[in-house]
Amino acid sequence: MHFIGPSTHAARHCERILRSLPRWFGIEASLLEYVADSERFPTFFAVDVDPVAFLTVREHFAQSWEVHCIGVSALHRGKGIGRKLHEHVETWLKSRGAQVLQVKTLAPAHPSPEYAETRQFYTALGYVPLEMFPALWGPQLPVLQLVKPLATFKQADESLIGERPEQQCTAREMLNKSA
């Protein structure tokens, strides 16, 4: 197993991996958006002959990034690949000065057993819950935001806070994704 990225031409492999996970990615429009996003935002792969897992991150601020999507192909889940891929991406982010990583996923108030497993993965990796958003992705889709510190926080340069990277994910994009 080796790790590569950020990669260009990620879409084909991401689509294959996501289609192996219909219990998480069963909404076609949302799946296709994650596939397209894999070529818009930095995407990393775990490769075993072919890519078997991917992780896409988005930059909100230089210090603050988000796990936008992660998937390990169904046959390869539960073998430590997700953890190792995440560690690889953490190293890349730290080398760029990132201090905190966040992820949004379905909250425990949602009955999905699949996303209960997903939350266990994030907490096993050291994420802590930060905030709940009852309607960010739409009605009946409560969102849990988790964060993982990557470094001891340094004082921010306030002049940079107003500069939003173009690719910043807005609440409107999130809502469109769940529509």
Q: Does the footprint of ligand COA cover residue 105 (CB under 6 A)?
A: yes
Binds ligand COA (CB under 6 A): choice among 12, 50, 109, 117: 117
141/65 Cα distance (integer angstroms): 23
Q: How far is the CB of 148 from ligand COA (least distance, A)?
A: 13
Binding mask 64-103 for ligand COA (x = CB under 6 A): -----xxxx----xxxxxxx--------------------
Phi-psi region of 118 (alpha: psi -120 to 50; beta: other; left: phi over 0): alpha
Q: How far is the CB of 177 from ligand COA (least distance, A)?
A: 11
| Residue partners of 103: CB distance under 8 A and separation at least 6 | 66, 67, 122, 127, 145, 146, 147
167/58 Cα distance (integer angstroms): 7
Q: What residues line the site for ligand COA (CB under 6 A)? A: 21, 24, 69-72, 77-83, 105, 117-118, 120-121, 124
